[in-house]
Amino acid sequence: MTRKEKYAYILQYFRKQMPEVQTELEFGSVFQLLVAVILSAQCTDKRINQVTPELFRHYPDAKAMAKAEAEDVLEYIKSVSYPNSKADHLVRMARALMERYGGEVPSDMNQLLDLPGVGRKTANVIQSVAFGKSTMAVDTHVFRVSHRLGLVTKNDDTPYKVEQVLVKNIPAEDIPRAHHWLLLHGRYVCTSRKPHCGKCDLKGVCPSATLSSSGGGTDSQL
């Protein structure tokens, strides 16, 4: 099977299995989505959804959060990973939004990347989920699944390289959903340490599943 055929097969599978798919983060505005995505770095969506309701009750928008201090925000996000740095990022991000964009979240990549706490993955999520752009956010799940399925090569050893290959090979109209397809597959099926190859419908085209069944194992680092 060529790489083009593999992409076609895998994408068609996901189109049938998850025709309608979206982020599992809960939010009520683009600003709240940005906050949730910043908080979700190296943390589960489940945990973020547990802390954001109270956080958003006190700071529903950039205007409210810009008036807070980092220690105020910290009280509501203590249970997430790296709470101190994230609290600082959120307050500075909200102030930047007020100063530069009247409290509105921009859709431009460079403008997003200039915001405190916003990296390329976060910017891509905002562009895709909030603004419907064909951008591919590569988190640990997308990175791992892309390698295991053979959608990218070992030489594609950074999130940016993986992003570039995926965007090149996935039709633009599928890219916003493809991020979620790969992410959810990695979260619930192709998990890091113990992938559930036995219940994976893609095992027939997955080189990692072939290695696993032959005793070679699956690289838990991907």
Task: Based on the residue annotation, tell me whether 121 is a catalytic residue of this protein.
Answer: yes
Cβ atoms of 93 and 75 within 8 Å: the answer is: no
Hey, how many other C-beta atoms are within 10 angstroms of the C-beta on 12? Answer: 10
Catalytic residue among 88, 121, 156, 203: 121
Distances, alpha carbon 53 to alpha carbons 28, 63, 67, 73, 92, in Å:
10, 17, 19, 13, 20
114 is catalytic: no
Catalytic one of 139, 157, 199, 219? 139
Query: Which residue's entry shows tokens 């600082």?
Result: 88
Residues classed as catalytic: 121, 139
